Structure 1
Amino acid sequence: MSDFSEELKGPVTDDEVETSVLTGAGMHFPWLQTYVETVAIGGKRKKDFAQTTSACLSFVQEALLKHQWQQAAEYMYSYFQTLEDSDSYKRQAAPEIIWKLGSEILFYHPKSNVETFSTFADRMKNIGVMNYLKISLQHALYLLHHGMLNDAKRNLSEAETWRHGENTSSRGILINLIQAYKGLLQYYTWSKKKMELSKLDKDDYAYNAVAQDVFNHSWKTSANISALIKIPGVWDPFVKSYVEMLEFYGDRDGAQEVLTNYAYDEKFPSNPNAHIYLYNFLKRQKAPRSKMISVLKMGSSSCRKARAPTDSTLW
């Protein structure tokens, strides 16, 4: 097996350009196509399993713990063999493991960039179809981290239409998350449109068009976020965005209902922020002082619960 370190750093020949990925940063990843694509089309290669894949996995994990990104990448080159392992369990588990470790390496590797990460993500979506939604969501979050909002939104839209696999509860939650993050991006656009609207006079010829645009974005955002925040969990940015839009359109009862459920529904985990959001809302509505103090007391109690040690920590 060729030395991955040399291939990573070495120059690329004309013949290699067609079967490798070369990023603007000069990071050479022949394994992205030479190995990943080969498996994707069902190709077979003779592998040297003298060094077991389990040993490679341990080396990768150790290198990650030590932040040795280049060394981790070299071991990943060998671990790709497990995609053709005769052990069906290892073969089926491999795509998710490769994605988790590979994405971690590419996120921190000094010579990696968005193009390299995106190429890897797209390949892994095709290989690990069972993890398509999860990879798509994480890919979108990576793009968001780099300020690529349109690309992130496109990824989320593609994932939203994915119809393969069984309809399990975990799949349903993933789809809700994907839709909610898409809604969060739409909320960002809505906020900008709302700011634009605030600068226009109602008599301005462009006012009605912008107002309609603002409404359209709010409707899309609400539809994408509302399903997620009904599922028990901590959804602070989604709840805040949703409530802001409800308030903007004068639905104060709806906003209070959302915040009250988020703070007091026992199915949701303890979350002091939920009580703070409700308190701030009541303050804006000039609610009775006694009611606001009651919310703060409940928030303080929730904070203590969140900090309390669990049985496992006591032992």
Structure 2
Amino acid sequence: MDSFLEEDAEAVVVVDGKRRKRRRNPAAQAAMHPSLHLPFLPPLPVSSNEHKLNFKKSKEACLDYIQDALLQKQWKRAAEFLTCYVESLEKDYSREHISASEMIWRIGTEILWHHSQSSVKEFSCFMEQMKTLGVKRYLKVCLEHVFHLLCNGQIDEAYQNLSLAESWRFGEQTAIQDKEMKLIQAYRGLLDYCSWSKQKSILLEHGEDEFSDLAVEQEMHSYFRKAAVNLKEIIKIPGVWDVFVKCYVDLLEFYGDHNEARQVLNEYAYNSKFPANPNAHVYLYQFLKRQGESKKSLISALKILHDIVPSHELMIDFNTMLQKSKKRRKRRLGLEVIFAGLDYAGWKENEKAWSCLARQVKQIVISEKHLDWIKQEWNSRKDWWPAFHFSRYLAKRNWQENKNLSYEKALVAGILLGKVGLFEMLPKTKGRIRPRISC
């Protein structure tokens, strides 16, 4: 910031083709005052072209300071610079402020979200002002406002804002505005789902009061109809709609429409127009499991999830199902799955994963069949797994924090690295240590 002020402190003014002596800019002097940290625009009268050039430089410098303050999480300083930026736009007679309105909205939202003295009321006032800056971003600003209200637990206010946004019209609706409107409706459907869920809890808590139950059921069904219509529309558009899909499927399952729920989840998981989404396959797997589907269907769902996210926590279940299979190909895949999961740092201390691997390699060694499976998996890992999993430091820490994990890792190390690996993984103690294997 100091460099900016120093550069702006002295200016050369050209009048009647003659150069005047350099003199200190009074605006720059004010900006250098210790109590103020705002770069001001030069107040001296200049030509139109010079004014545009100076305005552009000042604007860019001010935005740089705002960015710096945001990156350093100096919200008060960022607010001061943004105030200066807005004031400079108000004093300017060009059309620069038109393209800056979205920038003001986004920066202001970020500052108000984090500023220690910000309140919901102030945020709402700011959002109402932002809604008047342009019709093209009106619906986006409404959504931003609704998110903030929801995060602060103001459900009713959020619902009212969504209803107002849904009734908003201005000229012909563009394709982008059409999608934004469907998103507005989807969030209103989400709030209807929340109301439905509350009524469901009340219904389940009530005893045998038939009159109360009837009233609650009627209100529930009203919320169901409104929620289902809006949620169904948004999930037709290719995108990531996890929360909407989960809520819609919950509604369908409650009323026994399992075929529709299955169709929705299959479409969400397998439609090539939708982006690859691991959660889509998780939801499908969980639904199939709730419906008591065959292991073949469950394995098929998890196989695709494994291809997308090899380190997903459901890979433990996937490995377990594969190991119980009578087909050699699936048992081989099970070993591949558990090795692949342990390639990730998040699994380094996963006792279940090490237990699965220890059990499987133990069975292979005892049966003396398919030893080549272990060799194939180990060949691509022998250069980095010892340091990644079987170092002295990790052995000591695992032994102190989780002895069961140490036993499982020791067995695997003993098979993969030999006796040296086994002794490395089990630190010396006073008593004799016997590895315990989960079978």
Q: TM-score scaled by structure 2?
A: 0.57
Which of 185, 210, 228 is matched with 2:234 structurally?
228
- Residue 54 of structure 1 pairs with residue 57 of structure 2: no
User: What is aligned with 2:291?
Assistant: 285
| 1:216 corresponds to 2:245 | no
Report what 1:65 is aligned to: 71
| Aligned residue identity for 2:107 | L
**Alignment partner of 1:115 is 2:121:** yes
User: 2:106 aligns to what?
Assistant: 100
Q: For residues 174-197 of structure 1, what are the alpha-carbon distances to aligned partners after superposition, in whole Å with 9 as ceiling and x for unaligned?
A: 111111111111111110101111
2:270 is matched with 264
Q: Which has the larger radius of gyration?
A: 2
Residue number among 152, 160, 166 corresponding to 1:160 in the alignment: 166
Q: Which residue of 1 aligns with 2:197?
A: 191
Taking structure 1 as reference, are residues 281 and 188 closer, same or farther at Cα in structure 2, changes over 3 Å only? same
Instruction: For residues 35-62 of structure 1, give each alpha carbon's deviation from its aligned partner in whole angstroms, at most 9, with x where no partner exists.
Output: xxxxxxxxxxxxx959722222221111
Where in structure 2 are the equivalents of 1:119-130 lying within 5 Å?
119-130=125-136
Given the alignment of the two structures, is residue 298 of structure 1 paired with residue 313 of structure 2, yes or no? no
* TM-fit CA distance, 1:202: 5.6
Q: In structure 1, what residue type is equivalent to 2:89?
A: T
* Distance in 1 of aligned mates of 2:90 and 2:291: 59
Superposed counterparts of 1:24-103, under 5 Å: 49=55, 52-80=58-86, 81-82=88-89, 85-88=92-95, 90-103=96-109
- Corresponding position of 2:148: 142
Contact in 2 for aligned 1:262/1:268 (Cα 8 Å): yes
Count of matched residue pairs? 263
Query: Any gaps of 5 or more consecutive residues in structure 1?
Result: 8-47, 307-315
1:131 to 2:141 alignment: no
Equivalent residue of 1:227, what SS? helix
Task: Letter of the 2:190 partner, please give it.
Answer: L
SS in 2 for 1:232: coil
* Distance 1:164-1:83 versus aligned 2 partners, 3 A rule: farther
Question: What is the TM-score when the length of structure 1 is the normalising length?
Answer: 0.78
1:244-279 Cα offsets, whole Å, 9 max, x none, are 000111110000000000000011111111111111
The 8 Å contact of residues 76 and 102 in structure 1, kept in 2 or not, is answered as: yes
| Structure-2 change in CA distance of 1:51 and 1:290 (3 Å) | closer
User: Does 1:176 find its partner at 2:182?
Assistant: yes
Following the alignment from structure 2 to structure 1, what is the Cα–Cα distance between the partners of residues 254 and 160? 27
Q: Is the 8 A contact 1:193 1:214 kept in 2?
A: yes
User: 1:165 offset after TM fit, Å?
Assistant: 4.8
Distance in 2, matches of 1:178 and 1:140, equals: 9
Amino acid at match of 1:243: V
Alpha-carbon distance in 1 for matches of 2:92, 2:266 = 52
Q: Which amino acid aligns with 1:283?
A: K
Q: How far did 1:110 drift?
A: 0.9
Q: CA separation in 2, counterparts of 1:165 and 1:53? A: 33
Contact kept in structure 2, 1:83 and 1:95, CA below 8 Å? no
- Determine which structure has greater relative contact order: mean sequence separation of CA pairs < 8 Å that are 6+ residues apart, divided by chain length: 1
Please list the CA deviations of residues 156-214 of structure 1 after superposition, one character each: whole Å capped at 9, or x if unmatched. 11111111154222211211111111111111111010111112346522111110110
Q: Report deviation, 1:128.
A: 2.9
Cα distance in 2 for partners of 1:176, 1:202 equals 40
Are residues 78 and 265 of structure 1, via their aligned partners in 2, closer, same or farther at CA, if it must alter by over 3 Å? same
Identify the residue that residue 253 of structure 2 maps to in structure 1. 247
Counterpart amino acid of 2:309? C
Percent identical pairs in the alignment equals 44
In the alignment, structure 2 segments of 5+ residues that lack a partner are: 1-26, 37-53, 313-439
Which aligned pairs between 1:11-26 and structure 2 lie closer than 5 A? none
